[in-house]
Amino acid sequence: MGVFGQQDAMYSQYLFNKLAINPAYAGSRGISSASALFRTQWVGIKGAPVTKTVSYDGPLRNKKIGLGIQAFNYQMGITNLNGAFLSYSYRINFSASTLAFGLQGGASHIKADLNSVNLGSQGQDQAFSQNINEVFLNFGTGAYYNTEKFYVGFSVPHLLRNRLRTDYDETSDGLVSRQHLNIFLTSGYEFQLSEDFKLSPSFLLRGMQGSPVRLDLNANMWIKNQFSVGLQYRISEAIGVLLQVNITPQISMGYSYDRSITKLIEFNSGSHEIMLAYKFKLKKESKQ
């Protein structure tokens, strides 16, 4: 018997920070940029996930190599996860498109205060007898192809199936906790509807061992390249709205709200996500 749950952090605004799911994206815009994101999921449910992440990426001078770094904190219930990853990408430039291959590597520190769990009348349980305090190394890979208006990416951010090594695991007849592979496929296209309006539909397909395949469908409308409003549908899970505004040519801010359409809707008031991004250099860049 096995139980599977959410492992990698979930984002709604990955459209504006693809480095979070694909190392090949590093430096793909031809500029250096930094972003910060804060997400609080399922507001109203005690111990629901809270995610904080910061990232930076940019190209080297020859623009064939991109580098990136991201650090994150993920809290869910009694579990706290901190980590940092470095990303490297190599780009092959064609006349009107670019193909990039990426690698990332880093470490995560996970702590779980199992001793703090109130077991009530059940008394002691060996599964909660020892706290978890582990450091894991991992690495991932990805590929990213883009033109001026189209992009498609495929990635596996974590390739190693690390195991939580505790005394309980050694005597639990195979009932152990592991990191599982998460596979991402994402793509999108930009339609120029008029001089002032652009429509950008996209999708994210995510698969993980032991969990149903997840599909996000998105549609964002850009108005005069200054403001974006969009809709998101996470099939059978949630619906949401996404907003982004370019405050200055270098600073942009985003906000998203999504609402569960499962039975969880009875217990929470939705999920909120705030993003802030800064461009260090202003040059012609790919829209994708």
Average pLDDT, the chain: 86
pLDDT interval class at 163 (50, 70, 90): confident
pLDDT in tens, 26-52: 998 889 999 999 999 999 998 899 999
What domains does the chain contain, in order, with CATH numbers? 14-279 (2.40.160.60)
- Cα–Cα dist 187/202, whole Å: 6
- Cα–Cα dist 211/87, whole Å: 27
pLDDT in tens, 173-209: 444 566 778 899 999 999 999 999 999 999 999 998 7
pLDDT in tens, 78-110: 889 999 999 999 999 999 999 999 999 999 998
Q: Which two tokens stand for residue 181?
A: 């592979």
247: left (phi over 0), alpha (psi -120 to 50) or beta: alpha
Burial 183-208 (b: 16+ CB within 10 A, else e): ebebbbebeeeeeeebebebebebbb
Write the CB contacts of 219 (distance below 8 Å, at least 6 apart in sequence). 199, 200, 201, 202, 230, 231
- Cα–Cα dist 149/286, whole Å: 8
Predicted TM-score (pTM) of this structure: 0.86
pLDDT in tens, 116-140: 666 665 656 555 556 778 899 999 9
pLDDT interval class at 62 (50, 70, 90): confident
pLDDT interval class at 20 (50, 70, 90): confident
pLDDT in tens, 210-245: 778 899 999 999 999 999 999 999 999 999 999 999
Tell whether the torsion through CA atoms of 212, 108, 89 and 279 is positive or negative. Answer: positive
Phi, psi (rounded to 5 degrees) for 258: -130, 150
Contact 81, 104 (CB under 8 A): no
